[in-house]
Chains A and B, each alone.
Chain A
Amino acid sequence: MIIIEPGSHLRAREASLFERSESPKETKQGNIPKIQGSQAPHLSSPHPPLRSLRRSRYTSRNNQHIQMKHILKIMALVVAISAIWISLLETSVIPRSYTWLLPVYLIMSLGCYGLLMVGVGLMLFPTCPQEAVLLQKDIGEAKEFLKGKGVDVGSD
Protein backbone atom coordinates (compact mmCIF):
# COMPACT_ATOMS: atom_id res chain seq x y z
CA MET A 1 0.00 0.00 0.00
CA ILE A 2 1.38 3.38 -0.93
CA ILE A 3 0.69 6.14 1.56
CA ILE A 4 0.20 9.51 -0.13
CA GLU A 5 1.05 12.44 2.12
CA PRO A 6 0.93 16.18 1.41
CA GLY A 7 4.28 17.87 0.94
CA SER A 8 6.07 18.58 -2.29
CA HIS A 9 9.35 17.14 -1.05
CA LEU A 10 7.73 13.74 -0.83
CA ARG A 11 6.63 13.63 -4.47
CA ALA A 12 9.97 12.33 -5.70
CA ARG A 13 9.92 9.59 -3.10
CA GLU A 14 6.40 8.50 -4.07
CA ALA A 15 7.49 8.30 -7.71
CA SER A 16 10.24 5.87 -6.80
CA LEU A 17 7.83 3.88 -4.66
CA PHE A 18 5.48 3.42 -7.62
CA GLU A 19 8.33 1.94 -9.66
CA ARG A 20 8.91 -0.71 -7.03
CA SER A 21 5.27 -1.53 -6.44
CA GLU A 22 5.76 -5.21 -7.41
CA SER A 23 8.44 -5.90 -4.84
CA PRO A 24 7.55 -7.86 -1.72
CA LYS A 25 8.96 -5.09 0.47
CA GLU A 26 6.02 -2.84 -0.44
CA THR A 27 4.67 -2.32 3.04
CA LYS A 28 8.14 -1.63 4.38
CA GLN A 29 8.72 1.05 1.72
CA GLY A 30 5.31 2.44 2.40
CA ASN A 31 6.62 3.42 5.80
CA ILE A 32 9.36 5.65 4.41
CA PRO A 33 7.27 8.86 4.20
CA LYS A 34 6.37 8.36 7.83
CA ILE A 35 10.00 7.98 8.85
CA GLN A 36 10.68 11.31 7.15
CA GLY A 37 7.99 12.88 9.26
CA SER A 38 9.18 11.33 12.48
CA GLN A 39 12.76 12.35 11.97
CA ALA A 40 12.06 15.94 12.83
CA PRO A 41 9.06 16.24 15.12
CA HIS A 42 11.18 17.86 17.77
CA LEU A 43 12.43 20.48 15.34
CA SER A 44 9.06 21.41 13.86
CA SER A 45 7.72 23.10 17.01
CA PRO A 46 7.83 26.91 16.72
CA HIS A 47 10.50 27.79 19.28
CA PRO A 48 12.37 24.67 20.31
CA PRO A 49 14.65 25.41 23.25
CA LEU A 50 18.14 24.35 22.25
CA ARG A 51 18.80 22.00 25.14
CA SER A 52 15.61 19.95 25.04
CA LEU A 53 16.09 18.18 21.70
CA ARG A 54 15.70 14.48 22.05
CA ARG A 55 18.86 12.36 21.59
CA SER A 56 18.64 10.16 18.52
CA ARG A 57 19.27 6.46 18.18
CA TYR A 58 22.72 7.07 16.71
CA THR A 59 23.86 8.71 19.94
CA SER A 60 22.79 5.89 22.20
CA ARG A 61 24.50 3.33 19.97
CA ASN A 62 27.78 5.24 19.97
CA ASN A 63 27.80 6.45 23.55
CA GLN A 64 27.77 3.27 25.56
CA HIS A 65 30.34 4.69 27.97
CA ILE A 66 30.72 8.10 29.60
CA GLN A 67 33.33 10.10 27.70
CA MET A 68 36.17 11.42 29.86
CA LYS A 69 36.72 15.13 29.39
CA HIS A 70 39.75 15.91 27.24
CA ILE A 71 41.31 18.21 29.82
CA LEU A 72 41.28 15.32 32.29
CA LYS A 73 43.23 13.16 29.86
CA ILE A 74 45.86 15.88 29.54
CA MET A 75 46.04 16.35 33.32
CA ALA A 76 46.51 12.61 33.77
CA LEU A 77 49.38 12.70 31.30
CA VAL A 78 50.99 15.65 33.11
CA VAL A 79 50.61 13.90 36.48
CA ALA A 80 52.19 10.72 35.09
CA ILE A 81 55.16 12.63 33.70
CA SER A 82 55.59 14.52 37.00
CA ALA A 83 55.54 11.25 38.90
CA ILE A 84 58.30 9.85 36.71
CA TRP A 85 60.31 13.05 37.17
CA ILE A 86 59.95 13.03 40.95
CA SER A 87 60.86 9.36 41.17
CA LEU A 88 63.96 10.08 39.10
CA LEU A 89 64.84 12.88 41.53
CA GLU A 90 64.40 10.66 44.56
CA THR A 91 66.23 7.58 43.38
CA SER A 92 69.17 9.50 41.83
CA VAL A 93 69.62 7.13 38.91
CA ILE A 94 70.70 10.16 36.88
CA PRO A 95 72.85 12.86 38.57
CA ARG A 96 70.61 15.49 40.22
CA SER A 97 71.78 18.47 38.24
CA TYR A 98 70.57 16.88 35.02
CA THR A 99 67.31 15.71 36.53
CA TRP A 100 66.31 19.25 37.56
CA LEU A 101 66.62 20.38 33.98
CA LEU A 102 64.64 17.51 32.43
CA PRO A 103 61.29 19.37 32.30
CA VAL A 104 62.98 22.29 30.55
CA TYR A 105 64.44 19.91 27.98
CA LEU A 106 61.03 18.34 27.49
CA ILE A 107 59.29 21.65 26.87
CA MET A 108 62.06 22.80 24.55
CA SER A 109 61.86 19.61 22.50
CA LEU A 110 58.07 19.91 22.31
CA GLY A 111 58.50 23.46 21.02
CA CYS A 112 61.06 22.35 18.45
CA TYR A 113 58.80 19.52 17.33
CA GLY A 114 55.94 21.97 16.91
CA LEU A 115 58.07 24.34 14.84
CA LEU A 116 59.26 21.42 12.75
CA MET A 117 55.69 20.34 12.04
CA VAL A 118 54.79 23.90 11.05
CA GLY A 119 57.79 24.15 8.74
CA VAL A 120 57.24 20.76 7.13
CA GLY A 121 53.55 21.47 6.71
CA LEU A 122 54.33 24.82 5.14
CA MET A 123 56.70 23.25 2.62
CA LEU A 124 54.31 20.46 1.77
CA PHE A 125 51.20 22.68 1.73
CA PRO A 126 49.09 21.34 -1.11
CA THR A 127 48.18 23.93 -3.71
CA CYS A 128 45.87 23.67 -6.68
CA PRO A 129 46.41 26.44 -9.22
CA GLN A 130 44.73 24.38 -11.93
CA GLU A 131 41.51 24.47 -9.91
CA ALA A 132 41.36 28.25 -10.26
CA VAL A 133 41.46 27.88 -14.05
CA LEU A 134 38.76 25.21 -14.00
CA LEU A 135 36.67 27.40 -11.75
CA GLN A 136 36.83 30.29 -14.21
CA LYS A 137 35.66 27.95 -16.94
CA ASP A 138 32.79 26.74 -14.78
CA ILE A 139 31.80 30.30 -13.98
CA GLY A 140 31.68 31.18 -17.67
CA GLU A 141 29.57 28.13 -18.44
CA ALA A 142 27.20 28.87 -15.57
CA LYS A 143 26.74 32.50 -16.59
CA GLU A 144 25.88 31.54 -20.16
CA PHE A 145 23.34 28.95 -19.09
CA LEU A 146 21.65 31.20 -16.56
CA LYS A 147 21.52 34.18 -18.94
CA GLY A 148 19.75 31.91 -21.37
CA LYS A 149 17.17 31.04 -18.70
CA GLY A 150 16.54 34.64 -17.80
CA VAL A 151 18.32 34.81 -14.46
CA ASP A 152 20.04 38.13 -13.88
CA VAL A 153 23.78 37.40 -13.68
CA GLY A 154 25.25 40.85 -14.06
CA SER A 155 28.30 41.30 -11.86
CA ASP A 156 27.81 43.04 -8.52
Chain B
Amino acid sequence: MKEQLEREEKNKYSIIIPTYNERLNIALVIYLVFKHLRDVDFEVIVVDDGSPDGTQDIVRQLQHVYGEDHILLRARPKKLGTAYYHGLKHASGNFVIIMDADLSHHPKYIPSFIRKQLETGASIVTGTRYVSGGGVHGWNLMRKLTSRGANVLAHTLLWPGVSDLTGSFRLYRKSVLEDVITSCVSKGYVFQMEMIVRASRKGYHIEEVPISFVDRVYGSSKLGGSEIMEYLKGLIYLLFTT
Protein backbone atom coordinates (compact mmCIF):
# COMPACT_ATOMS: atom_id res chain seq x y z
CA MET B 1 0.00 0.00 0.00
CA LYS B 2 2.84 2.38 0.86
CA GLU B 3 4.53 1.32 -2.37
CA GLN B 4 1.38 2.13 -4.29
CA LEU B 5 1.19 5.55 -2.63
CA GLU B 6 4.79 6.24 -3.57
CA ARG B 7 4.11 5.17 -7.13
CA GLU B 8 1.07 7.45 -7.21
CA GLU B 9 3.12 10.37 -5.97
CA LYS B 10 5.70 9.91 -8.68
CA ASN B 11 3.18 9.93 -11.53
CA LYS B 12 2.33 13.10 -13.36
CA TYR B 13 -0.62 13.25 -15.74
CA SER B 14 -0.70 15.52 -18.78
CA ILE B 15 -4.23 16.13 -20.00
CA ILE B 16 -4.33 17.15 -23.66
CA ILE B 17 -7.51 18.87 -24.81
CA PRO B 18 -7.80 19.97 -28.46
CA THR B 19 -10.18 22.90 -28.86
CA TYR B 20 -11.86 24.76 -31.69
CA ASN B 21 -14.53 27.31 -30.82
CA GLU B 22 -15.05 25.98 -27.32
CA ARG B 23 -15.06 29.29 -25.51
CA LEU B 24 -17.55 28.38 -22.83
CA ASN B 25 -16.97 24.66 -22.63
CA ILE B 26 -13.23 24.82 -22.03
CA ALA B 27 -13.75 26.91 -18.90
CA LEU B 28 -16.28 24.40 -17.57
CA VAL B 29 -14.06 21.45 -18.42
CA ILE B 30 -11.06 22.96 -16.66
CA TYR B 31 -13.10 23.78 -13.58
CA LEU B 32 -14.33 20.17 -13.42
CA VAL B 33 -10.85 18.77 -13.97
CA PHE B 34 -9.49 20.77 -11.05
CA LYS B 35 -12.48 19.78 -8.95
CA HIS B 36 -12.03 16.05 -9.45
CA LEU B 37 -8.23 15.78 -9.44
CA ARG B 38 -7.34 17.34 -6.12
CA ASP B 39 -4.68 14.86 -5.00
CA VAL B 40 -3.05 14.22 -8.32
CA ASP B 41 -0.07 15.90 -9.94
CA PHE B 42 -1.26 16.99 -13.36
CA GLU B 43 -1.16 19.65 -16.04
CA VAL B 44 -3.70 20.60 -18.67
CA ILE B 45 -2.47 21.29 -22.20
CA VAL B 46 -5.01 23.13 -24.35
CA VAL B 47 -4.19 22.83 -28.05
CA ASP B 48 -6.18 25.45 -29.88
CA ASP B 49 -6.45 25.62 -33.68
CA GLY B 50 -6.83 29.38 -33.89
CA SER B 51 -10.44 29.61 -32.73
CA PRO B 52 -12.10 32.81 -33.91
CA ASP B 53 -14.44 32.99 -30.91
CA GLY B 54 -11.78 33.89 -28.34
CA THR B 55 -11.13 30.50 -26.77
CA GLN B 56 -7.50 31.42 -26.19
CA ASP B 57 -8.48 34.54 -24.21
CA ILE B 58 -10.62 32.45 -21.92
CA VAL B 59 -7.74 30.02 -21.38
CA ARG B 60 -5.47 32.92 -20.46
CA GLN B 61 -8.01 34.10 -17.90
CA LEU B 62 -8.11 30.59 -16.49
CA GLN B 63 -4.33 30.61 -16.27
CA HIS B 64 -4.63 33.60 -13.92
CA VAL B 65 -7.01 31.64 -11.74
CA TYR B 66 -5.24 28.29 -11.63
CA GLY B 67 -1.63 29.05 -12.36
CA GLU B 68 0.43 28.85 -15.52
CA ASP B 69 2.23 25.69 -14.49
CA HIS B 70 -1.07 23.79 -14.39
CA ILE B 71 -2.60 25.10 -17.59
CA LEU B 72 -0.55 25.30 -20.76
CA LEU B 73 -1.92 26.96 -23.86
CA ARG B 74 -0.38 25.81 -27.11
CA ALA B 75 -1.87 27.43 -30.15
CA ARG B 76 -1.54 25.78 -33.53
CA PRO B 77 -1.72 28.24 -36.43
CA LYS B 78 -1.69 25.50 -39.06
CA LYS B 79 -3.24 22.06 -38.88
CA LEU B 80 -0.26 19.79 -39.37
CA GLY B 81 -0.84 16.28 -38.18
CA THR B 82 -3.05 15.92 -35.16
CA ALA B 83 -3.43 18.19 -32.18
CA TYR B 84 -2.34 15.34 -29.94
CA TYR B 85 1.07 15.13 -31.53
CA HIS B 86 1.52 18.85 -31.02
CA GLY B 87 0.41 18.67 -27.40
CA LEU B 88 2.59 15.65 -26.75
CA LYS B 89 5.71 17.66 -27.52
CA HIS B 90 4.95 19.93 -24.57
CA ALA B 91 3.79 17.27 -22.15
CA SER B 92 5.98 16.81 -19.10
CA GLY B 93 4.06 14.05 -17.36
CA ASN B 94 4.69 10.35 -17.67
CA PHE B 95 1.04 9.64 -18.46
CA VAL B 96 -1.10 11.40 -21.04
CA ILE B 97 -4.88 11.68 -20.93
CA ILE B 98 -6.74 12.77 -24.04
CA MET B 99 -10.31 14.05 -23.95
CA ASP B 100 -12.74 16.30 -25.79
CA ALA B 101 -13.51 19.86 -24.78
CA ASP B 102 -17.25 19.83 -25.43
CA LEU B 103 -18.25 18.24 -22.10
CA SER B 104 -19.26 14.97 -23.73
CA HIS B 105 -16.39 13.54 -21.68
CA HIS B 106 -16.88 14.31 -18.02
CA PRO B 107 -13.66 14.81 -16.04
CA LYS B 108 -15.11 12.90 -13.11
CA TYR B 109 -14.06 9.68 -14.84
CA ILE B 110 -10.37 10.62 -14.87
CA PRO B 111 -9.79 9.28 -11.32
CA SER B 112 -11.25 5.94 -12.38
CA PHE B 113 -8.86 5.83 -15.34
CA ILE B 114 -5.95 6.52 -13.01
CA ARG B 115 -7.11 3.93 -10.50
CA LYS B 116 -7.55 1.29 -13.18
CA GLN B 117 -4.07 1.94 -14.52
CA LEU B 118 -2.53 1.68 -11.07
CA GLU B 119 -4.40 -1.53 -10.29
CA THR B 120 -3.54 -3.32 -13.49
CA GLY B 121 -0.34 -1.65 -14.65
CA ALA B 122 -1.86 -1.21 -18.09
CA SER B 123 -0.20 0.87 -20.78
CA ILE B 124 -3.51 2.18 -22.13
CA VAL B 125 -6.83 2.67 -20.39
CA THR B 126 -9.67 3.49 -22.74
CA GLY B 127 -13.16 4.72 -21.89
CA THR B 128 -15.99 2.71 -23.37
CA ARG B 129 -19.57 3.87 -23.84
CA TYR B 130 -20.92 0.47 -24.81
CA VAL B 131 -20.50 -1.41 -21.55
CA SER B 132 -23.03 -1.40 -18.72
CA GLY B 133 -21.98 1.17 -16.17
CA GLY B 134 -21.26 3.50 -19.02
CA GLY B 135 -23.74 4.79 -21.53
CA VAL B 136 -24.87 7.42 -23.93
CA HIS B 137 -27.42 10.20 -23.71
CA GLY B 138 -28.75 12.38 -26.48
CA TRP B 139 -28.65 9.83 -29.30
CA ASN B 140 -31.77 8.95 -31.24
CA LEU B 141 -32.51 5.47 -32.59
CA MET B 142 -30.86 6.09 -35.97
CA ARG B 143 -27.65 7.23 -34.36
CA LYS B 144 -27.58 4.24 -32.04
CA LEU B 145 -28.23 1.92 -34.97
CA THR B 146 -25.37 3.27 -37.05
CA SER B 147 -23.08 3.23 -34.04
CA ARG B 148 -23.91 -0.36 -33.19
CA GLY B 149 -23.71 -1.48 -36.83
CA ALA B 150 -20.34 0.20 -37.25
CA ASN B 151 -19.13 -1.43 -34.06
CA VAL B 152 -20.19 -4.95 -35.13
CA LEU B 153 -18.60 -4.47 -38.55
CA ALA B 154 -15.35 -3.26 -37.05
CA HIS B 155 -15.27 -6.14 -34.59
CA THR B 156 -15.87 -8.72 -37.34
CA LEU B 157 -13.15 -7.30 -39.56
CA LEU B 158 -10.51 -6.17 -37.14
CA TRP B 159 -10.79 -8.24 -33.92
CA PRO B 160 -9.57 -5.24 -31.93
CA GLY B 161 -9.86 -6.44 -28.35
CA VAL B 162 -11.66 -3.31 -27.13
CA SER B 163 -15.38 -2.61 -27.15
CA ASP B 164 -15.28 1.09 -28.14
CA LEU B 165 -13.02 1.82 -31.09
CA THR B 166 -13.88 5.43 -31.88
CA GLY B 167 -13.91 6.76 -28.34
CA SER B 168 -11.42 9.52 -27.63
CA PHE B 169 -11.35 9.55 -23.84
CA ARG B 170 -8.19 7.61 -23.06
CA LEU B 171 -5.19 7.42 -20.78
CA TYR B 172 -1.85 6.45 -22.33
CA ARG B 173 1.55 5.87 -20.84
CA LYS B 174 3.54 8.62 -22.52
CA SER B 175 6.16 6.34 -24.06
CA VAL B 176 3.43 4.13 -25.49
CA LEU B 177 1.63 7.11 -27.01
CA GLU B 178 4.84 8.33 -28.60
CA ASP B 179 5.44 4.92 -30.09
CA VAL B 180 1.95 4.44 -31.49
CA ILE B 181 1.31 7.98 -32.71
CA THR B 182 4.26 7.92 -35.08
CA SER B 183 2.82 5.00 -37.01
CA CYS B 184 -0.66 6.54 -37.44
CA VAL B 185 -1.55 8.57 -40.50
CA SER B 186 -5.32 9.12 -40.30
CA LYS B 187 -7.27 12.09 -38.97
CA GLY B 188 -10.42 12.51 -36.91
CA TYR B 189 -12.16 9.53 -35.42
CA VAL B 190 -10.44 7.10 -37.80
CA PHE B 191 -7.26 8.26 -36.09
CA GLN B 192 -8.66 7.10 -32.73
CA MET B 193 -9.51 3.74 -34.25
CA GLU B 194 -6.08 3.44 -35.80
CA MET B 195 -4.37 4.26 -32.50
CA ILE B 196 -6.15 1.61 -30.50
CA VAL B 197 -5.89 -1.07 -33.20
CA ARG B 198 -2.17 -0.48 -33.70
CA ALA B 199 -1.60 -0.53 -29.95
CA SER B 200 -3.51 -3.78 -29.73
CA ARG B 201 -1.44 -5.31 -32.54
CA LYS B 202 1.79 -4.27 -30.85
CA GLY B 203 0.74 -6.18 -27.77
CA TYR B 204 0.30 -3.34 -25.30
CA HIS B 205 -1.78 -4.03 -22.20
CA ILE B 206 -5.14 -2.28 -22.74
CA GLU B 207 -7.86 -1.95 -20.10
CA GLU B 208 -11.34 -0.46 -20.32
CA VAL B 209 -13.39 1.74 -18.02
CA PRO B 210 -17.11 2.50 -18.54
CA ILE B 211 -17.81 6.16 -19.14
CA SER B 212 -20.95 8.13 -19.79
CA PHE B 213 -21.18 10.22 -22.94
CA VAL B 214 -23.67 13.09 -22.98
CA ASP B 215 -23.96 14.34 -26.53
CA ARG B 216 -25.21 17.93 -26.55
CA VAL B 217 -24.09 18.78 -30.07
CA TYR B 218 -25.47 15.84 -32.03
CA GLY B 219 -28.61 17.67 -33.06
CA SER B 220 -26.57 20.19 -35.00
CA SER B 221 -24.49 17.75 -37.05
CA LYS B 222 -26.10 14.97 -39.05
CA LEU B 223 -24.40 11.69 -39.78
CA GLY B 224 -24.20 11.94 -43.56
CA GLY B 225 -23.24 9.55 -46.31
CA SER B 226 -19.76 11.02 -46.58
CA GLU B 227 -19.04 10.21 -42.92
CA ILE B 228 -20.12 6.61 -43.48
CA MET B 229 -17.86 6.38 -46.56
CA GLU B 230 -14.96 7.79 -44.57
CA TYR B 231 -15.56 5.21 -41.86
CA LEU B 232 -15.67 2.32 -44.33
CA LYS B 233 -12.51 3.52 -46.06
CA GLY B 234 -10.82 3.74 -42.68
CA LEU B 235 -11.87 0.19 -41.85
CA ILE B 236 -10.54 -1.20 -45.12
CA TYR B 237 -7.30 0.71 -44.63
CA LEU B 238 -6.91 -0.70 -41.12
CA LEU B 239 -7.80 -4.18 -42.30
CA PHE B 240 -4.93 -4.21 -44.77
CA THR B 241 -2.26 -2.27 -42.96
CA THR B 242 -2.39 -3.39 -39.31
- Chain A contact residues, CB within 8 Å of chain B: 7-13, 16, 32, 36, 39-40, 42-44, 50-51, 53, 55-59, 62-63, 67, 69-71, 74, 114, 117-118, 121-122, 124-129, 131-132, 135, 138-139, 142-143, 145-146, 149-156
Query: Which 8 pairs of residues, A with B, have the shortest CB-CB distance?
Result: A128-B135, A126-B135, A56-B175, A142-B31, A8-B69, A131-B212, A62-B203, A9-B92
A70 and B123 form a contact (CB under 8 A) = no
B152 and A132 form a contact (CB under 8 A) = no
- Contacts A58-B179, A70-B242, A128-B214 given; 12 further ones with Cβ under 8 A? A50-B81, A56-B176, A58-B123, A70-B239, A118-B148, A121-B151, A122-B144, A125-B148, A127-B136, A132-B137, A142-B32, A146-B65
B159 at the interface (CB under 8 A from A): yes
A156 and B106 form a contact (CB under 8 A) = no
Kindly identify which residue among A74, A124, A152 contacts B61, using a CB–CB cutoff of 8 Å. Answer: A152
Kindly identify which residue among B53, B58, B136, B178 contacts A53, using a CB–CB cutoff of 8 Å. Answer: B178
Q: Provide the B10-47 mask, 1 if CB < 8 A to any CB of A, else 0.
A: 10100000000101100110011000000001010000
Kindly identify which residue among B10, B129, B149, B202 contacts A59, using a CB–CB cutoff of 8 Å. Answer: B202
The prevalent SS among residues of A at the interface is: helix
Interface size classification for chain B: 35 or more
- Please, how many angstroms separate the alpha-carbon atoms of A11 and B67 in the complex? 13
Closest CB in chain B relative to A88 CB, distance in Å = 25
- Please, how many angstroms separate the alpha-carbon atoms of A30 and B84 in the complex? 30
Q: A126-B130, A156-B23 are in contact. Are A142 and B92 (CB under 8 A)?
A: no
Closest CB in chain B relative to A79 CB, distance in Å = 17
Closest CB in chain A relative to B100 CB, distance in Å = 14
B212 surroundings in chain A (CB, below 8 A) = 128, 131
A36 and B145 form a contact (CB under 8 A) = no
- Please, how many angstroms separate the alpha-carbon atoms of A139 and B149 in the complex? 33
- Please, how many angstroms separate the alpha-carbon atoms of A35 and B53 in the complex? 39
Most buried by B among A71, A135, A143: A135
Closest to A45 in B: B89
A62 and B138 form a contact (CB under 8 A) = no
B174 at the interface (CB under 8 A from A): yes
Closest to B160 in A: A70
Q: A53-B182, A145-B31 are in contact. Are A127 and B137 (CB under 8 A)?
A: yes
Q: A62-B204, A126-B129 are in contact. Are A70 and B9 (CB under 8 A)?
A: no
B123 and A142 form a contact (CB under 8 A) = no
The B72-104 residues at the A interface (CB cut-off 8 A) are 81, 88-89, 91-92, 94, 103
A58 and B175 form a contact (CB under 8 A) = yes
- Please, how many angstroms separate the alpha-carbon atoms of A36 and B95 in the complex? 11
Closest CB in chain B relative to A147 CB, distance in Å = 10
Kindly identify which residue among B133, B134, B145, B159 contacts A122, using a CB–CB cutoff of 8 Å. Answer: B145
The B119-152 residues at the A interface (CB cut-off 8 A) are 123, 129-138, 141, 144-145, 148-149, 151-152
Task: Please list 29 pairs of residues, one from A and one from B, whose beta carbons are closer than 8 Å in the complex, sorted by A's number.
Answer: A9-B12, A9-B69, A13-B12, A13-B41, A16-B9, A36-B94, A50-B81, A50-B182, A51-B182, A58-B123, A58-B175, A59-B179, A62-B203, A62-B204, A71-B240, A74-B239, A114-B156, A118-B152, A122-B144, A125-B135, A125-B144, A125-B148, A126-B130, A135-B214, A139-B103, A146-B27, A151-B65, A153-B28, A154-B24
